[in-house]
């Protein structure tokens, strides 16, 4: 689950795909920019990231960003398209709840592309509450973790 050099290299390959960048809202980076970001991770109290392996290879990434006191934004993506639809999203949703609670985070939020049905369904399935209407094509979501261990 540690986001190590193997995941750094895998995400470099994954984010060369314009469709994954579109779905996640990620900007295109140079290899140098990505390396600098990776090197900054150990010193960032506002950012936690974990990798998920499946069949012995990096498959997905999830984490918390914009961590402030007891709230954070969570993110998730399955980089290897061949591994989508195999339950990784549900696993990451469960893990992020557990890890957030361990960090004292009680409120998770995100903004989802309304057109990304898979990510909207994932957030519903792990308990996020979705806003009734989209704002600029994005649906605000939140999850209250009060009372979780």
Summarised one tens digit per residue, pLDDT across range 8-52 is 999 999 999 888 888 788 889 999 999 999 999 999 999 999 999
Torsion on CA atoms 90, 92, 97, 98, rounded to nearest 10: 120
Report the distance separating Cα 19 and Cα 112, nearest Å: 15
Say if residues 75 and 62 touch (Cβ distance below 8 Å). yes
pTM here is: 0.88
pLDDT of residue 147: 66
* Integer Cα distance of 18 and 107 in angstroms: 31
**Residues 125-140: pLDDT tens digits?**
989 999 988 888 889 9
Give yes or no for residue 149 having a pLDDT over 60: no
């Amino acid at each position: 689950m540690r986001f190590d050099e193997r995941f750094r290299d895998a995400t470099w390959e994954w984010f060369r795909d314009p469709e994954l960048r579109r779905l996640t809202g990620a900007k295109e980076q140079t290899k140098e920019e990505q390396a600098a970001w990776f090197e900054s991770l150990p010193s960032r109290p506002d950012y936690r990231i974990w990798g998920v392996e499946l069949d012995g290879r990096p498959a997905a990434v999830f984490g918390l960003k914009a961590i402030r006191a007891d709230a954070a934004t969570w993110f998730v993506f399955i980089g290897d398209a061949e591994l989508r639809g195999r339950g990784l999203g549900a696993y990451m949703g469960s893990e992020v709840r557990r890890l957030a609670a361990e960090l004292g985070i009680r409120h998770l939020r995100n903004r989802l592309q309304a057109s990304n049905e898979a990510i909207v369904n994932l957030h519903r399935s792990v308990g996020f509450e979705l806003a009734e209407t989209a704002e600029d094509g994005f649906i605000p979501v939140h999850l209250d973790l009060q009372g979780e261990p």
